[in-house]
Structure 1
Amino acid sequence: MIIRYALFEGEVRDGQTEAFREAVTTELLPLWKQFPGASAVRLSFSESRDDGAPEFPLILAVSYPSQEAMQGALASPIRMESRRVTESVVARFFDGRIHHHVTMASDHAL
């Protein structure tokens, strides 16, 4: 399984945490769920971190069955729309940068 992470590194503006989370959930999540070939979308909103650790108010994880499926999603019109909406949400609530990491994942039951 391929997981593409979008790490929102930085800070949500003071007093805007709930509004940021609401905008991500209502404006962006519906778009991300439409990415062709995606098998799962996970939003992780930060609750705490180690002293001195960088701040990641949001980590988005989108799972794909293959690299080809991920590439198809990245080239899709819905991704272009999600980028436009992401820029709007970021401009309203977030100071920082977004970077992406692609991983090969495997699950191991306990």
Structure 2
Amino acid sequence: MIVRQAFFEGTVHPGREAEFRQFVETRLVPMWRQFPGVRDLRVMFALSRDDGAPPFPLSLAMRFDDEAALAEALEAPIRFESRAVTGELMAMFDGRIHHHVFEVVA
């Protein structure tokens, strides 16, 4: 099993936290659920962090059967559509998004 995680490292513009969350839930989550081969989607909004830890107000994890399924999802039209919508989300966010792929063993 493969998990691809996206980490939104940075800060949501002050006063736009609720708008940011609603945007993700209403605009992006439905698109992310359409990725071919996605077995599970976890969208996580930060509640707290250790002192000195970098801020990650949002993280998402997509689970796929294998690397081939992930590769298919990364080439799917819905991914490119969701990237354009994510660009709109970035108007409420200062920071960067980075992705990591993990192999699940347990």
Q: Shorter-chain TM-score: which interval?
A: over 0.9
1:9 corresponds in structure 2 to 9
The whole-number CA distance in structure 2 between the counterparts of 1:68 and 1:21 is 31
- What are the ranges of 5 or more consecutive residues in structure 2 without an aligned counterpart? none
Residue 42 of structure 2 aligns with which residue?
42
Aligned to 1:60: 60
C-alpha distance in 2 between matches for 1:20 and 1:84: 16
Identity of aligned residues (%): 52
Alignment of 1:21-32 (within 5 A): 21-32=21-32
Tell me the distance in 2 between the aligned counterparts of 1:106 and 1:65.
12
CA distance in 2, matches of 1:26, 1:40: 18
Task: Give structure 1 stretches of 5+ with no counterpart.
Answer: none
Structure 2 length as normaliser, TM-score?
A: 0.98
Q: Find out whether 1:19 has 2:19 as its counterpart.
A: yes
Q: Which residue of 1 aligns with 2:94?
A: 95
- Root-mean-square deviation (CA, aligned residues, Å) is 0.7
CA distance in 2, matches of 1:106, 1:47: 27
Q: Report runs of 4+ in structure 1 exceeding 6 Å deviation.
A: none
CA distance in 2, matches of 1:95, 1:17: 12
TM-score, normalised relative to structure 1: 0.94
Q: 2:66 corresponds to which letter in structure 1?
A: S
